[in-house]
Structure 1
């Protein structure tokens, strides 16, 4: 299959300016032989324009964009949407009225790929032009379902406009091979204007026997520290309030270019606003690659601009199964990661993943997994059944009976749902960062420093702001709170943006009493200086998680930002909301002073008169 450079005819510059000639060497629909004699290019262009009853000017069409999978895929979709929008295309979540469908796929689990197959079949039946992107075509390019379909590889997203344009003309284009990473400064349309998903590397160093993603994303390739810091500064200037670092394995960052994760994190933290208005969330990391950096990572997680939250997949509580998975760590090493971070970081919360029914898993192996979950009572666990992925070593292993796999998944889910991670949070005062709207269209969604999901009532103008709230009630998946104070750039907590040596000496996290500060020792933060409860919402699972808490998140169109008000009006509306709903200490003092003055005056008049 030719690359797109091989698909253009003419090439001599004879075409009218801005007009792309029809492809005569395209592979797929309406192809012609390469050795066909070329007509005069000007006559060809003129003929096409005269017979343009079905011709549409490129950039005037509507593109339906559907994304499956992890946050890295979501970031890729946002980059593709940004480029298409910059060229005039309209991005829509409505498939029916679209001129072309663009599907960004995930290969982690069979259900995701089955959903992709269903969409492709529907698209074919409706005779819509189709472009498939993401991990499925990159890792399984010879799939029968992809025959006759245009394809964009995971490292070719910066050329999506070319592929879409040619597909709309009836040509099949496939771009899969590349040696360099896409630039980070491409146009981007974020699904949530306040959240930047920042890929720091692609691929990984592992070779897990069940994983298909490695086939698609390949070996580790890291972006430079300077390019990532530059992107952070740019998105902060755009008004982003949360930055999610995303990759297939965050902990492995930089090992291919001579740096490491702590070096990157310290550089990013130094670039964040000193008023704590923008928060950093560190992405998923496997245990082997952070064991040697635990203390440095703990120092960074203590910083007020970094959520005290980390996703560390364990996958199984059995060393025998971890060996079969080729996970390259033991349960003892996983425990060391969890125990160290929990000890050194106040309010530290860790999410994890479990695969039930991996080939060879015995009842004893599964019991070890259940006991591990019971012991740590993780507030966030992504539980999935084993799905054999074609081409992986695990697909050739002897499988556990499907009914046994389902029963184990149900049992572990029941154990996890028996926990009450937020009990005891009622009445606590926390700082939150508000970035989204709940599906009920009434509550706003914010997160504490421990990334606990908090639902508050208030106007949409509060989106993108930070606030002090009092927790009024708790649920299984989130907590509810009342807003006490909206923090602006003038009353945000000031924090340093120095190197890691100063981080551990400052506030570790917003305490229940805003006048208190969290004192950290040189190597460990005092575990009792802040009382932040368990985390809840988490959106960086390898596939769409089944966590009901995520149902509270509003599904927003990438072409319609959820808020369009300016920051000045946000602060005005927010201040008005708090004033209308809460009787502050200053108000009480003023009224009390006026009342006492009146009493004093009356007493003086009575005394003089007598």
Structure 2
């Protein structure tokens, strides 16, 4: 079947978010015997306009069914799934984590690697065998429209997620629907059901400017399309008011943001951090960025990463330490330029943590090329390295290049993994006290997961009521992938109390290390040149207060902070005194007037 594009009544426009278009506005194709009838695009248009006479009668009320959503791939895909889930629940559909309990399966796919697409194919086969209506979303149908596995199922493109309700309704009626036309970006204020209530995944743009020879995602997500700064800032305000504690900026290349609309990433970041609560109750995590587009903004990005409400963590894929391989990949930077990115951020941002990606066995990679990659990883000892074997993706230039032998690719992957796992990045953290932000339950079901400002994972024990809070934790032991800690103090009180305390604090120093140790506001930190002495004094007083509270608790005492209202003229402000004086003068004037009138009356008599 050919792709059926949007067939809107009138040819333009559409519907506002959450509004059902007329049924004949959806491109559909009732399932027919393909051996008896070939379907042309004109046939599909005719079918779409007359489908009420051809479609089987609906036996159930739309919006009363249960949907199972499975998501593969990146955080951008996760955000898309959350938006689709939000729209479906807004129209009454229920969601389930149990596939067998669902009336329809919605599978959001990833095309980056062969294993992800194979898992999708397996799930589709399983759904067909269980006679489940299927809707396939994401990068696979968008980038590979003629894929055999997609025959006979409904598909929705990456920029058509705001039409998911229509597609689900038509699929439940037995129709096959395809909406793949790229149009305007989906609105950011669509209904959303977050997988984690405390984490907002915020897409800032779709697509990218690069043309990597191995990448299939560009085929699906297309050329760069950025949301406006104002729309993103509005979304940040909204999610903070909804209680979100972490905001993840997500895209195919964060560093390329705004180049299509005349702005850049630092402009966006500076606008967003102004909206973050000064008590550090909500943190910002900057998403994956390729080296070419941040090289010219390194100092500005470093300044944002130093902000108290921004994690000092960045994912910068290098893919290879060899310039010849990078050229074959069309990555548009050299290994030396990648080192410049890492060196600059590490120098300018205290506690900076950088994660990277490596592809082993890219076509044409020699032993010398691979050794340069190993040397790069050894030089920096990155705490996180995502190591992949090269997977040729259909339709990409790299798929036609001469491949490295499979056994060599696997051997190089094992060797690099062994090198990486020999690092001990968290050694020396034992006994250190770190502020952490707790947002998840660990997979063991016992620990809670918090992250330091450097986004190091800290596992602590405590009730789930601690989720969404910030705390001071003492690191008790370290592992290869995370550290363990015990909570000393939580900062789960109302933001107003913390902000009130912040207002009484003296101005902070522009020194980065000083700014990060005091709970000062974004405006006062890293701004004007001021002495750091007052900030350090404030920090010492806070420590003394905390020490006194801990001591009192050990003695069995319970401390309550009571606000005692002030009274007495000595505590009045200037405005209070002025108002009293005004009332007194007015009263005196009235009294004199009344006496004057009384005297005149008496004299006339």
Which bin holds the TM-score, normalised by the shorter protein?
Answer: 0.7 to 0.9
Flag the 1:36–1:374 CA change in 2: closer, same or farther, 3 A: closer
**Residue in 1 aligned with 2:383?**
379
Contact 1:308-1:451 within 8 A present in 2 as well: yes
CA distance in structure 1 between the aligned counterparts of 2:488 and 2:105, rounded to whole angstroms: 46
Q: 2:261 aligns with which of 257, 264, 285?
A: 257
Flag the 1:209–1:25 CA change in 2: closer, same or farther, 3 A: closer
**Residue in 1 aligned with 2:457?**
453
SS of aligned partner of 2:387: strand
1:4-41 CA-to-partner distances (Å, cap 9, x unmatched) read 53699xxxxxxxxx997799983141599777999998
2:434 paired with 1:441: no
1:507-532 CA-to-partner distances (Å, cap 9, x unmatched) read 67644x989x9996999xx9xx99xx
Q: 1:143 aligns with which of 144, 147, 166?
A: 147
- Structure 2: gaps (5+ residues): 11-19, 38-42, 537-545, 558-605
- Structure 1: gaps (5+ residues): 9-17, 497-501, 531-578, 592-610
Contact 2:438-2:451 within 8 A present in 1 as well: yes
CA distance in structure 1 between the aligned counterparts of 2:272 and 2:282, rounded to whole angstroms: 11
Could you state the TM-score of these two structures normalised by the residue count of structure 2? 0.79
Contact 2:502-2:519 within 8 A present in 1 as well: no
List aligned pairs for 1:25-424, cutoff 5 A: 26-30=28-32, 55-424=59-428
2:587 paired with 1:585: no
Flag the 1:36–1:437 CA change in 2: closer, same or farther, 3 A: closer
CA distance in structure 2 between the aligned counterparts of 1:37 and 1:64, rounded to whole angstroms: 27
| Relative contact order, higher structure (CA 8 A, sep 6+) | 1
Contact 1:505-1:521 within 8 A present in 2 as well: no
Flag the 1:269–1:138 CA change in 2: closer, same or farther, 3 A: same
1:495 Cα deviation after fit: 7.2
1:30-67 CA-to-partner distances (Å, cap 9, x unmatched) read 599777999998xx79xx9xx97x70100000111000
Contact 1:243-1:278 within 8 A present in 2 as well: yes
Flag the 1:229–1:482 CA change in 2: closer, same or farther, 3 A: same
Contact 1:469-1:482 within 8 A present in 2 as well: yes
Structure having the larger proportion of residues in helix:
2
1:329-381 CA-to-partner distances (Å, cap 9, x unmatched) read 00110000000000000000000000000000000000000010011000000
CA distance in structure 1 between the aligned counterparts of 2:101 and 2:51, rounded to whole angstroms: 37
CA distance in structure 1 between the aligned counterparts of 2:47 and 2:301, rounded to whole angstroms: 62
Contact 1:507-1:519 within 8 A present in 2 as well: no
CA distance in structure 1 between the aligned counterparts of 2:26 and 2:292, rounded to whole angstroms: 51
2:449 paired with 1:483: no
1:76 Cα deviation after fit: 0.3
Contact 1:505-1:522 within 8 A present in 2 as well: no
Deviates more, 1:172-181 or 1:71-80: 172-181
Contact 1:68-1:106 within 8 A present in 2 as well: yes
**Residue in 2 aligned with 1:576?**
none
**Residue in 2 aligned with 1:566?**
none
CA distance in structure 1 between the aligned counterparts of 2:478 and 2:181, rounded to whole angstroms: 50
Deviates more, 1:413-422 or 1:27-36: 27-36
CA distance in structure 1 between the aligned counterparts of 2:288 and 2:29, rounded to whole angstroms: 39
Flag the 1:7–1:334 CA change in 2: closer, same or farther, 3 A: same
SS of aligned partner of 1:173: strand
Contact 1:303-1:504 within 8 A present in 2 as well: no
CA distance in structure 1 between the aligned counterparts of 2:421 and 2:47, rounded to whole angstroms: 67
Contact 1:430-1:468 within 8 A present in 2 as well: yes
CA distance in structure 2 between the aligned counterparts of 1:24 and 1:226, rounded to whole angstroms: 31
CA distance in structure 1 between the aligned counterparts of 2:51 and 2:162, rounded to whole angstroms: 32
SS of aligned partner of 1:215: helix
Contact 1:68-1:105 within 8 A present in 2 as well: yes
1:201 Cα deviation after fit: 0.3
Flag the 1:373–1:148 CA change in 2: closer, same or farther, 3 A: same
Deviates more, 1:134-143 or 1:20-29: 20-29
CA distance in structure 1 between the aligned counterparts of 2:76 and 2:326, rounded to whole angstroms: 25
CA distance in structure 2 between the aligned counterparts of 1:430 and 1:378, rounded to whole angstroms: 20
1:440 Cα deviation after fit: 2.0
CA distance in structure 1 between the aligned counterparts of 2:110 and 2:306, rounded to whole angstroms: 33
SS of aligned partner of 2:259: coil
> How many residues are aligned here?
514
**Residue in 1 aligned with 2:473?**
469
Contact 1:202-1:217 within 8 A present in 2 as well: yes
SS of aligned partner of 1:96: helix
CA distance in structure 1 between the aligned counterparts of 2:156 and 2:190, rounded to whole angstroms: 16
CA distance in structure 1 between the aligned counterparts of 2:128 and 2:171, rounded to whole angstroms: 14
SS of aligned partner of 1:403: helix
Flag the 1:77–1:25 CA change in 2: closer, same or farther, 3 A: closer
CA distance in structure 2 between the aligned counterparts of 1:463 and 1:215, rounded to whole angstroms: 39
Contact 2:90-2:191 within 8 A present in 1 as well: yes
**Residue in 2 aligned with 1:568?**
none
